Amino acid sequence: MLLFLLTHPRWEMVFQPKYAAYLNLIEPWWKVLRSLALKGRRFESWEEIAQAVERATVYWNDHRHPFVWGRRRRHQPRRQPGIALPPKAA
């Protein structure tokens, strides 16, 4: 790998921590693929799996929307409403 990096100076290796799977853009796609094509189904052959993945990909492309990249919202602390307002007198 070191020789590859020396011969390709524009490439840079980036190592992400194990606890930060949300940084890897393929992870959300695996989640979508599991829910659209694989969840709750049994397959008899690889061809059925390939067809299910193809149908899920076509569906996903037909119903595309902007992808918001980042940590899931449930991991972020809730913002207090009115945090910029002066405190209320008790």
Give pTM, 2 decimals: 0.51
pLDDT tens sequence across 44-60: 999 999 999 999 989 98
- Contact between 24 and 16 under an 8 Å Cβ cutoff? The reply is yes
Q: Where are the domains of the chain?
A: 17-68
pLDDT grade, residue 2 (50/70/90)? confident
Check residue 87 and give its pLDDT. 61
pLDDT at 77 over 80: no
Taking all residues of the chain, what is their mean pLDDT, rounded to a whole number? Answer: 79
* Surface-to-core class of residue 36, CB atoms within 10 Å of its CB (0-12 exposed, 13-18 middle, 19+ buried): middle
**Which residue in 65, 70, 36 sits closest to 53, CA to CA?**
36
